[in-house]
Amino acid sequence: MAAYTFVLLAGFAAGCLSGVIGTGSSILLLPLLVHAFGPKQAVPIMAIAAVMANLSRVLAWWREVDWKAVAAYAVTGVPAAALGARTLLALPPHVIEIALGIFFLAMVPVRHLLARLQWKAQLWHLAVAGAFIGFLTGIVLSTGPLSVPVFLAYGLVTGAFLATEAASSLFIYLSKVVTFHEFGALPAGVLLQGLIVGASLMAGTFAGKALVLRMSAAAHGHVLDGLLVCSGVALLWTALG
């Protein structure tokens, strides 16, 4: 019971964070879920919760969604995420933990590299990014630090950015959840746990909406890098300890 209470509180905090900066809930929660339930269970639980978290961001900023960008990203991202999820199910648990930890740490320099390039994305760029990031999302779950600069480079800001990135991610995570279900990795217990965690994320997301315009770009970057480093180290510690 204490473990569930802690996860729910962390879920609310993670929902607030993702509601402000557009990502971070999976990065913050996944190490806690891995510790509480193990990597094989944690990933489908977080996938369900991510569907609910992204849905809440879409509902909070519904009128701001750029549906052309969503379509371009999702048309390649959905099948790629399904392929990535099937690949994930074939991997042993300790490999998943190590891969997640390394990926989180690697995203810190990658995120800064993309920011320095300052390229302007077009719709076809979103389609290419959807295929690449969708497959990675199927395997490692959280690729927000990669998708964030893609949508920002397309010219989306504040509510439009939050809504469009969330709508695109919603389709990606739905594809992953359906794949988990088809391959028997989503029993009733895991589904219930995912819904509970997702409810706390949704509550946090709506609470965080009021803070969106109060955080500077520099503060956003520092928070994101800190989350990536802490979560990556925590996962590697669990896998190798």
The highest-confidence range among 20-24, 150-154, 209-213, by mean pLDDT, is 150-154
The pLDDT score that the predictor gives to residue 224 is 66
- One-letter amino acid at 58 equals V
Q: What is the CA radius of gyration of the chain?
A: 16
Note the pLDDT of residue 125. 92
pLDDT, tens digit, for every residue of 85-140? 888 777 776 776 687 778 778 877 877 787 787 778 899 999 999 998 888 888 77
Q: At what angle do helices 217-240 and 144-153 cross, to 10 degrees?
A: 160
Task: For residue 209, name the pLDDT band (cuts at 50, 70, 90).
Answer: low
Task: Write down the pTM of the prediction.
Answer: 0.73
Mean pLDDT, the chain, rounded, equals 80
Q: Give residue 168's pLDDT.
A: 92
pLDDT digits (tens, 9 = 90+) for 147-200: 777 887 888 877 788 889 889 989 988 998 888 888 887 888 888 888 888 888
pLDDT band at residue 213 using 50, 70 and 90 as cut-offs: low
Taking only the tens place, the pLDDT of each residue in 46-96 is: 888 888 888 888 888 888 999 999 999 999 999 998 998 888 777 776 776
pLDDT for residue 217: 65
